[in-house]
Structure 1
Amino acid sequence: MELTNNILSLWQAGVQAVRGDVAVARAIEDGLVPKPERIIAVGKAAVAMAIPACEKWPDAPCLVVTKYDHAADAPTRATVLEAAHPVPDAASIIAGRALQEAVADCGPGTHLLMLVSGGASALAEVPSEGLSLTDLMDSTNALLASGAAIAEMNAHRTARSQIKGGKLLAGFGGARVTTLALSDVEGDALATIGSGIADAPSDPPFAFHPHIVASNTIARDAVAASSALPVTANAETLYGDISDLVPRLSAQVHSAPSGVMILGGEPVVVLPPTPGKGGRNMALALHLAREIAGTKGLRVLVAGTDGTDGPTDAAGALVDGQTWDASGADALARADAYPWLEAQGALIKSGPTGTNVADLLVAVKD
């Protein structure tokens, strides 16, 4: 492995280590997956996860549910449905019912391979009786604006869904389900990933074999292994409201010795009534740009491993001691970090990465 102190290359090393195709291929090679009769992949990384499985078992019908503009390179024989994220739309309902039908179609003796990654909560949905799509959209928007943590978001979604929290697989009549998951949640609990869309119901009448095949820990460790500088921190502590995180992170990067600091997680941000364009990673990067203004030899990258931050085409941003100027304060107040960071040439635009294991903060101090 080539060692580097190039901060973007370090982030990319972390992302590459947890790509959906890499993780699923490794699980297949390790013998974790017997031959399936049907394959279902759902989430932002669904296409990448489906590729090695479809190559290995070309006769198994495959249904892929993913985000708009994330279907490039999908297996040609797969049925591919695209929907919205982070707020569900009409296509999400179509996808949710397609998942129900695919699971119900599995007859006795069937082995179903479920491939799940973050984003599945919005991409596929069947609302509980009495709830409309508008109800789901309004409640999701309200939770997003409130800065609710992912666990709270997923608990809310599960309670209002016919396919979350093990309810989808409650309709499975086959013999075995193997679930391979990329974790984008704290603690790597399958019941929280995609709001438990690939989890089993209590006491399932079939054999259930779940495996977490990629996580934020694996990504951070890959960054650490690629660093030519000493690693001064490697922890999954990037949780909580940004307003609470910024003072702690500022103190941490300023006091750290020379080297690389690697943090993972998923911070949240409370939005104003009419927010501008941006996402949690861009907001955090802009806050940190102000905190490190004038500091020499310090670079901080904050980006989503899935390649998208909020409803934008950027993964996050890379800032240093020269990025900030006073006009950034207005962008922060309006939650409008994207255009400001774009004007500074600080945005990171990787495109879809084929994975989703939450966010990475990489700080390099020379």
Structure 2
Amino acid sequence: MSIQQPAVFLQSLFQHAVDSVSAARCLPAALPAPPAGRTVVIGAGKAAAAMAQVVEQHWQGELSGVVVTRYGHGAACERIRVVEAAHPVPDAAGEQAAQDILSAVSGLSADDLVLCLISGGGSALLALPAPGIQLQDKQQINRALLRSGATIHEMNCVRKHLSAIKGGRLALACAPAKVVTLLISDVPGDDPDIIASGPTLPDATSCADALAILGKYAITVAPHVREHLESGRGETPWPDDVRFAGHQTRIVATAAMALEAAAAFAKAAGIPAHILSDGIEGEARDIGKMHGALALEVARKGQPFTAPCLILSGGETTVTVRGNGRGGRNAEFLLSFAHTVQGNPRIWALACDTDGIDGSEDNAGAVCGPDTLAQAADAGLSARVMLDNNDAYHFFQSVNALITTGPTRTNVNDFRAILVL
């Protein structure tokens, strides 16, 4: 590999960033001391099985438990049961897994420890509707939220108040055992109570907040769902709730860590790196256009950075779906970026999801270079038309530019790298 092969360099950079936030790399040092009593491991998220596997490899003493992860994201465990379920729209397997997790933490004593392994994706995977709410209700609302352009903070606010296990309720079910929550963060700002809808963390949002979000995005819900929120039955335990005293929370991997690892990788290759932010949010196409404008400024005017350089950013963009094409937020970002830079001969870029799955597709994201638009045009494709149809997947597939890693079993959200030579 060399910078003479910019696309290869960017893919190696991405792999290095993902490796830096793997459970194997980040989790062992964060494990607590064994308790006097039992240790029960529970968890949910795209990294949950990999995290459970690491716990088994490093834990001294008795161990049992159950974790739920996305289909295809499992890992071999001997003492901790791994369940796979649907994401991003929950299914019956996720509902049953949530019930099994509640059963696993029932009847514990004050001498026992619950080790909770949480990562992005856990909110959909840990699907136990509140009394009076059905799984079908949550599926319908999830689909609507995913298409609406709502932020992860907004989506998880709604999810918490329709759940029997999120928003701190799982921690209360563990009483009187001590709860230690270890998190791989996939949310901008790394707020622990937002990651996977905070099943073991108290919650500062309310049913009124959830109703306001549904109204903001004109999401229609069934009358019994609205009544559940309006009545206040969906309220979550607040941050001052004394029942959380003595519990511990540790974030073991973040987007910032992945970006810093990528920056070090680039500098070792002789390329100065600049991290814009690890918490960028907004419409993917708008963020793509902004990044494109910045790359052009560097390429044409040498400001605010001097080429050659690498520009990095992370966070979680959103897509308001208006067309009927395919593609996750990273591919949409990159298509908007490519349309903005219009084949500038000095610019290459990569945008991928660190979990290896761009939305609900089979690719992590894509890569583009100076000849991407021309190659697509030769295939009869217009970047503008494809973007208007939310069809970034087929655009990059047509030029063999999709990046397919398979599940990485970690998740610190979007990873964007722009190389200006």
TM-score, scaled relative to structure 1? 0.93
Contact kept? 2:63, 2:79, Cα under 8 Å:
no
TM-fit CA distance, 1:51: 1.4
Contact kept? 1:316, 1:349, Cα under 8 Å:
yes
- Encode CA deviations 1:252-271: one digit per residue, 9 max, x unaligned: 11113320001000100100
Q: Which amino acid aligns with 1:329?
A: R
Q: Which of the two has higher C-alpha Rg?
A: 2
Distance in 2 separating the partners of 1:205 and 1:245: 38
Determine the structure 1 residue equivalent to 2:334.
Answer: 285
Determine the structure 2 residue equivalent to 1:220.
Answer: 259
TM-fit CA distance, 1:56: 2.4
Determine the structure 2 residue equivalent to 1:62.
Answer: 65
Spell out structure 1 runs of 4+ moving beyond 6 A.
2-5
1:77 to 79, 93, 112: 79
Determine the structure 2 residue equivalent to 1:52.
Answer: 54
TM-fit CA distance, 1:205: 5.8
TM-fit CA distance, 1:280: 0.5
Determine the structure 2 residue equivalent to 1:158.
Answer: 160
Determine the structure 2 residue equivalent to 1:238.
Answer: 280
Determine the structure 2 residue equivalent to 1:311.
Answer: 360
Distance in 2 separating the partners of 1:205 and 1:69: 34
Q: Which amino acid aligns with 1:236?
A: D
Distance in 1 separating the partners of 2:392 and 2:84: 28
Cα distance change of structure 1 residues 105 and 332 upon mapping to structure 2, 3 Å threshold: farther
Worse-matched range after superposition: 201-210 or 47-56: 201-210
1:184 aligns to what SS in structure 2? Answer: coil
**Gapped runs of 5+ residues in structure 2?**
203-236, 299-305
2:338 aligns to what SS in structure 1? Answer: helix
- Encode CA deviations 1:320-339: one digit per residue, 9 max, x unaligned: 12112352333222212212
Determine the structure 1 residue equivalent to 2:134.
Answer: 132
TM-fit CA distance, 1:33: 4.3
Distance in 1 separating the partners of 2:283 and 2:103: 39
Distance in 2 separating the partners of 1:12 and 1:169: 35
Distance in 2 separating the partners of 1:118 and 1:222: 20
Worse-matched range after superposition: 356-365 or 94-103: 94-103
Q: Which amino acid aligns with 1:235?
A: S
Determine the structure 1 residue equivalent to 2:100.
Answer: 98
> Is residue 263 of structure 1 aligned with residue 306 of structure 2?
no
TM-fit CA distance, 1:245: 1.9
Distance in 1 separating the partners of 2:124 and 2:72: 15
Determine the structure 1 residue equivalent to 2:399.
Answer: 344
Determine the structure 1 residue equivalent to 2:20.
Answer: 17
Overall identity of the aligned pairs, in % = 36
TM-fit CA distance, 1:50: 1.0
Q: Which amino acid aligns with 1:99?
A: I
Cα distance change of structure 1 residues 328 and 87 upon mapping to structure 2, 3 Å threshold: same
Determine the structure 1 residue equivalent to 2:292.
Answer: 250
Distance in 2 separating the partners of 1:143 and 1:331: 23
Q: Would you say how many aligned residue pairs link Structure 1 and Structure 2?
A: 360
> Is residue 146 of structure 1 aligned with residue 133 of structure 2?
no
Matches within 5 A, 1:293-304: 293-304=342-353
Determine the structure 2 residue equivalent to 1:178.
Answer: 180
Distance in 2 separating the partners of 1:320 and 1:205: 51
Distance in 2 separating the partners of 1:33 and 1:108: 15
Distance in 2 separating the partners of 1:203 and 1:187: 25
C-alpha RMSD of the superposition: 1.9
Determine the structure 1 residue equivalent to 2:233.
Answer: none
Contact kept? 1:104, 1:171, Cα under 8 Å:
yes
Contact kept? 1:265, 1:359, Cα under 8 Å:
yes
1:277 aligns to what SS in structure 2? Answer: coil
1:318 aligns to what SS in structure 2? Answer: strand
1:168 aligns to what SS in structure 2? Answer: helix
Worse-matched range after superposition: 246-255 or 140-149: 246-255
Q: Which amino acid aligns with 2:390?
A: A
Cα distance change of structure 1 residues 105 and 364 upon mapping to structure 2, 3 Å threshold: farther
TM-fit CA distance, 1:276: 2.2
Cα distance change of structure 1 residues 277 and 243 upon mapping to structure 2, 3 Å threshold: closer
Distance in 2 separating the partners of 1:3 and 1:332: 32
TM-fit CA distance, 1:244: 2.9
TM-score, scaled relative to structure 2? 0.81
Contact kept? 2:171, 2:244, Cα under 8 Å:
no
Q: Which amino acid aligns with 1:290?
A: H
Distance in 1 separating the partners of 2:280 and 2:390: 19
Distance in 2 separating the partners of 1:170 and 1:41: 15
